[in-house]
Chain A
Amino acid sequence: MIEVKEIIKRFGRKTVLDGVSFTAEKGQITCLIGVNGMGKTTIMNAIMRLTPIQDGEILVDGKEVTKDTFEKIVFIPDATIMLPNFTIDQAMDFMNDFYQNWNQKRADEMLSFFKLNRADKISSLSKGNTAKVNLMLGLAVDADYILMDEPFSGIDIFSREQIAEVFTSHLIEDRGVLITTHEISDIEHLIDKVVLLNDGQIQKEFMTEEVRENEGKSVIDVLREVYFQ
């Protein structure tokens, strides 16, 4: 379980996260939704210790995040984080070099599913294919938790469909996934849990099926209530 507890993050005098707490469980897809601005990405960066927080704590399986945690939790940002002059092959070698949990079989499987060419340079790829390589490099690590920042933003519809399909496969199964998005419609049926972030605070945390079952509301209905009441 990823536990975010009362974290406070300020940029200068601006408070971006004001006592944010939520959990993301293993075996579930948790979606962090925020209509406006920062916050979501900052939370992911904070979990991965890529930005300092002013207060609060973040635990993964009950422990603070250290270098060993990075074998268990993988972050896929919305930009490529590999050297542009690397080929896909070289990028995989790099990952294999540093991650004990790198699973080449999975990587190969995803390469063929996404129809990627391993000799291609990363800088030469289309936006959609770049996102797929990003996803492949993250998911091929046998990590328990995957963080994904806006995996659907700015890419073509077919790439979106392919990526959504990954969420229904064994590549995601049994792992804990935390995903941010501002376009919920792509994945409304895929997610287990929603965490609503607004103005640096958590407005609501709910299980999608429960809300549908008990209140007959879609995720968007709930969003509408929270943001426009």
Chain B
Amino acid sequence: MKNFVKLMNFEWNRVARLIFILMIFTFVVQLIGVFFETAKYMSNVENLQRNEGYTYRQILDRYGYFSFSNVTNSLLFFGPIFIGIGGILFYIFLIWYRDWFGKNTFVYRLLMLPTERINIFFAKLATIFIATLSLVAFQLIIMHIEMFVMKQQIPEELLFEMPVTYILGTDYFLSIIAPSNLDMFFILYGAGILLVSVLFTAILFERSYRLKGIVLGLGYVGMSLILMLSPILINEFILNRYFYNWELALLTIAVGLALLFLSIWMSKRLLDQKIRV
């Protein structure tokens, strides 16, 4: 356990700078997005006021209120989030491969540490998880700042204010990243952890058997996919919708948990017995 914490801390320190850069990048680009969207709206407003002599009432009829959705629907807002997600997905692979490639093959050191090798797996998994949560938490914080900035740019009469929680609840995309209720949080992040574990196992297949391992790894991912969908597929096509939805959901969660344990068991086996430097 102590070694797991040390390893996790170590892995975190290796990625922290990257996460920090991503955060700054996100903040800067999204702020630009706020200024861009507000300026676009206000220039329309000012045009109507100056050239057509519109009142706020008439402007609202024409353009509607300005709300934070105008910002969140902007590429400058969700672009950085996609880059963040892409970064995390990329790092799921990099977190392993960086230890094998390059002049200094650190994987020797890692595998020879006097600790259970599966701790390396857990440390990397936890690091991905923490990195994701950090990015999400940071996003929630800067949304408040961005909203504050927005309010400075738009006259109160044209502004439709909504709290961050409301936006998170209504924006489809944001509600996945930051679920507003606890059940959803556990299910979504549980699914995330499961996905990363399956990918890690596939990576370890590749690292153990190399070329042959690519096939094995892809096979493992494919099998996992089928396994996860199996309750739904069986219910639909074999059992003629025998289960209620909540039963189906429970079944899927049970299969997911089983798959998680299978991935951990498989990874432990590969790390202990099959891995190659």
Contacts and interface: CB of A to CB of B under 8 A. Distances in A.
> A and B: direct contact (Cβ < 8 Å)?
yes
A206 interface: no
B115 A98 contact: yes
B106 interface: yes
A100 B114 contact: yes
Interface string B248-274: 000000000000000000000000111
A45 B103 CA distance: 18
A98 B114 contact: yes
A52 B272 CA distance: 9
A52 B106 contact: no
A81 B102 contact: no
A11 to B, nearest CB: 10
Contacts, number: 68
Interface string B90-111: 0000000000001111111101
A70 B112 contact: yes
A75 B109 CA distance: 9
Contacts of A69: 114
A67 B117 contact: yes
Contact of A49 (B3, B105, B116, B272): B272
Contact of A50 (B14, B106, B108, B116): B108
A94 B10 contact: yes
A162 interface: no
Nearest to B14: A83
A124 B66 CA distance: 55
Contact of A82 (B104, B113, B115): B104
A227 interface: no
B111 A50 contact: yes
Contacts of A82: 104, 106, 109
A48 B105 contact: no
A80 interface: yes
Nearest to B110: A81
A97 B273 CA distance: 25
A49 to B, nearest CB: 7
A67 B114 contact: yes
B223 to A, nearest CB: 23
A225 interface: no
Contacts of A70: 112-114
A83 B10 CA distance: 11
B6 interface: yes
A84 B103 contact: yes
Contacts of B15: none
Nearest to B10: A94
Given A51-B277, A52-B274, A98-B6, A80 B114 contact: no
Nearest to B117: A67
A72 B67 CA distance: 65
A68 B114 contact: yes
Contact of A75 (B3, B112, B275, B276): B112
Interface string A55-74: 00000000000011111001
A70 B112 CA distance: 6
A67 to B, nearest CB: 5
Contacts of B277: 45, 50-51
Contacts of A79: 103-105
Given A51-B276, A77-B105, A84-B104, 11 more contacts: A48-B111, A50-B111, A50-B276, A52-B273, A52-B274, A67-B114, A67-B116, A80-B103, A81-B109, A83-B14, A98-B114
For the complex of A and B, the 8 pairs showing the least CB-CB separation, nearest first, are: A70-B114, A81-B108, A50-B277, A81-B109, A71-B114, A80-B104, A84-B104, A98-B113
28 contacts: A48-B112, A50-B112, A50-B276, A50-B277, A51-B276, A52-B208, A52-B273, A52-B275, A67-B114, A67-B116, A68-B114, A70-B113, A75-B108, A75-B112, A77-B105, A79-B103, A79-B104, A79-B105, A81-B106, A81-B107, A82-B106, A82-B109, A83-B104, A84-B103, A97-B6, A98-B113, A98-B114, A100-B114
Interface of A: 45, 48-52, 67-71, 74-75, 77, 79-84, 94, 97-100, 122-123
